Structure 1
């Protein structure tokens, strides 16, 4: 396996530095406290390495900056209905793509790679682009493994089941197989089983 390029290392370092500014905190499995989006970026990179070791460089870059500076555009700044949620998500995708583009340009990436990473972040051609689908599988797996149970405890069961079903529809058969092997707590496993029944 080839060593990562200097610009790849520089881009990851800058993504991490930006996400380290997150005022929100999260705790990892060992009980260590992290800036929330810094931990998410680390989990995305680790998840991608498990699912597709040696994934294309643009996918590795997009995985690490998937939520770059996400806290800068809070959910509560948009109407708290379905339309507001979709506006928030689309605004975030555009923002993540812009910030990532700036970082990648500063790191020395050419326009083609920058455009590719931005397309991945915006989930363009999800049903037809294998790299976008790979990224989506990793997003779903990271959610299920690290965030699902906390989410489930905050929402009614019917909403949780609906979310699992929607998540499942976004994933590939390989993603499904990996999801069913995740070491989920019994409570989370029961909810997934109910959603898939």
Structure 2
């Protein structure tokens, strides 16, 4: 019999599979279990695997798989408990139907950016909570997933919220940083890029930072920037 956890994960992944943005399926680098799962090796919802385009994957499904991968690595630290079901679901639900609120729907200003991020968190948390209830979770468990998605207790020092923050930062560094630097680096300039990296580093716990130092960055210029940001 399917559990509420399995049902909720399937609902979340089915939503991710509707992302109109698709990327090439990442090539498997090795059989090392510490490597992130590729789209071909990770379980996918039927709606994703039935696509005629077998060479690509919806980006948000790829992102969700990366998040789960880094959650496993982050919770392998001896000081960190095994992830709870609400944390695992909140991790998987990051960026849930994110494409429905594009950045361009808010002013291209600092205030507009923060307003957009807040709207995304509320939107994603509301959908995740509804999916958990549909899957059979009770109100308190579903509300906990939503609170984690919103990162409500991050400043209060909630351990699970900090793990989620670590994982999001790790996926940014591993999966998005080089593309972001290529797209925005010239526009932002070196100092702004350094500021973004320093803020990312400051958000992370020591176990998260230890994992970050092991991420392979192929672009030498980006690698040099990361090194400077880490050194302060």
- Place the TM-score, normalised by the shorter chain, in its bin: over 0.9
Deviating beyond 3 angstroms after TM superposition, the runs of 4 or more aligned structure 1 residues are none
C-alpha distance in structure 2 between counterparts of 1:101 and 1:23, whole Å: 23
Q: List alignment gaps of at least 5 residues for structure 2.
A: 29-54, 77-81
From 168, 174, 182, the equivalent of 1:153 is 182
Alpha-carbon contact 2:178-2:219 (below 8 Å) kept: no
Deviation of the 1:36 alpha carbon: 1.1
Alpha-carbon contact 2:68-2:88 (below 8 Å) kept: yes
Deviation of the 1:45 alpha carbon: 0.8
2:24 alignment partner in structure 1 = 27
Structure with greater helix share of residues: 1
1:16 aligns with 2:13: yes
C-alpha distance in structure 2 between counterparts of 1:51 and 1:172, whole Å: 10
C-alpha distance in structure 1 between counterparts of 2:58 and 2:87, whole Å: 23
Larger radius of gyration between Structure 1 and Structure 2: 2
2:172 alignment partner in structure 1 = 143
Alignment root-mean-square deviation, CA: 1.6
1:184 alignment partner in structure 2 = 217
1:174 alignment partner in structure 2 = 207
Deviation of the 1:189 alpha carbon: 2.0
1:37 aligns with 2:60: yes
* Structure 1 residues 72-151: aligned runs within 5 Å: 72-127=100-155, 128-151=157-180
Compare 177-186 and 82-91 and name the one that shifted more.
177-186
1:61 aligns with 2:84: no
C-alpha distance in structure 2 between counterparts of 1:16 and 1:51, whole Å: 21
SS in 1 for 2:12: helix
SS in 2 for 1:44: helix
Q: List alignment gaps of at least 5 residues for structure 1.
A: none
